[in-house]
């Protein structure tokens, strides 16, 4: 009898998870019949130490709202995860846990696939774990940015049309507009959006968020979070199997 090898996703309100289906299809394709992927939908991290010691568990994905909160429970972090201050992937080897940030890898792939020469500066909407990975990649690629959140100096109330016109890359990193709340949308001066803009919304469910639809109406080039998600999942798989 082959020993069971377990993976999973921890987050809150994550029944719609992409990861479970993605990895289960991978296991089928690779004929890994003893591999399974579970959803750990948790209201808090009270049981995290017990979860990390689950028999056979060798890898976890981490999503909203635990990408930063889970760090104190881990034994170590990769260099990138340390710098970013958020993780979305945990590898468990010989009882030791290590946190990685594969969001950064996935976002960079998406950005470089779509970015044009004239798009030189960015606005990041949101300041959570996903936004931190985006900030890291923009710095790495020498793209100046401003961060807009509820608590930053420039916020959703005072961000203006001119600022939007001046920054031709807009990255939406909040969960606002995610299924099932598909009619929700951030307060944003869409009048500043032009056909010169690149809009990346990290939401993948729905395929086209209200935010993306509003920007597409202005002629902007838009991309959702699906490619990023696939790329970060592949990177996680590589880490778990290295």
Walk me through the domains of the chain, giving residue ranges and CATH numbers.
5-100 (3.40.50.10860), 104-228 (3.40.50.720)
- The angle formed by the CA atoms of residues 159, 141 and 160, to the nearest 5 degrees, is 10
What gap in Å lies between CA 3 and CA 5, rounded to an integer?
A: 6
Average pLDDT over all residues of the chain: 96
* Cα atoms in the Cβ-side hemisphere of radius 13 Å centred on 144: 4
Q: Tell me the pLDDT tens digit for each residue of 134-187.
A: 999 999 999 999 999 999 999 999 999 999 999 999 999 999 999 889 999 999
Q: Which residues contact 156 (CB under 8 A, 6 or more apart)?
A: 148, 149, 150, 186, 187, 188
pLDDT at 14: 84
CA–CA distance, 237 with 86 (Å, rounded to integer): 18
> 167 near 192, Cβ under 8 Å?
no
Percent of the chain having pLDDT more than 90?
A: 95
- pLDDT value, residue 197: 98
pTM score, whole prediction: 0.93
With a cut of 80, say whether residue 15 has pLDDT above it: no
Burial class (CB in 10 A: 0-12, 13-18, 19+), 229: buried
% helix / strand / coil in the chain, to the nearest 5? 35, 20, 45
Residue position matching structure tokens 């809150």: 12
Percent of the chain with pLDDT over 70: 100
List the one residue out of 18, 232, 228 whose CA is nearest residue 110.
228
Q: How confident is the model at residue 3 (pLDDT cuts 50, 70, 90)?
A: confident
36 neighbors 7 (Cβ within 8 angstroms): yes
CB atoms within 10 A of CB 45: 15
**pLDDT band, very low/low/confident/very high, at 2 (cuts 50, 70, 90):** confident
Mean pLDDT value of segment 108-112: 97
Residues with a known catalytic role = 67
For residue 42, pLDDT over 90 is answered with: yes
Task: Look at residue 1 in the predicted model and tell me its pLDDT.
Answer: 59
């Amino acid at each position: 009898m082959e020993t069971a090898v377990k993976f999973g996703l921890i987050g809150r309100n994550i029944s719609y998870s992409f990861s479970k289906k993605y990895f289960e299809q991978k296991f089928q394709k690779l004929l890994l019949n003893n591999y399974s992927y579970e959803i750990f939908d948790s209201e808090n991290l009270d049981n995290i130490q017990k979860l990390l010691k689950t028999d056979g568990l060798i890898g976890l994905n981490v999503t909203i709202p635990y990408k930063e909160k889970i760090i104190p429970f881990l034994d170590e972090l990769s260099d990138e995860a340390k710098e970013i201050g958020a993780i979305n992937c945990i590898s468990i080897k010989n009882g030791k846990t290590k946190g990685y940030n594969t969001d950064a890898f996935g976002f960079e792939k998406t950005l470089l696939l779509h970015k044009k020469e004239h798009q030189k500066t960015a606005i990041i909407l949101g300041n959570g774990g996903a936004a931190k990975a985006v900030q890291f990649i923009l710095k790495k690629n020498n793209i100046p940015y401003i961060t807009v959140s509820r608590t930053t100096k420039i916020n959703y109330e005072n961000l203006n049309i001119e600022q939007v016109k001046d920054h031709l890359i807009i990255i939406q990193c909040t969960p606002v507009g995610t299924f099932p709340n598909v009619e929700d949308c951030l307060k944003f001066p869409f009048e500043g959006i032009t056909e010169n803009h690149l809009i990346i919304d990290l939401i993948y469910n729905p395929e086209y968020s209200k935010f993306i639809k509003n920007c597409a109406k202005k002629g902007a080039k838009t991309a959702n979070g699906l490619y990023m998600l696939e790329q970060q999942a592949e990177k996680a798989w590589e880490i778990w199997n290295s």
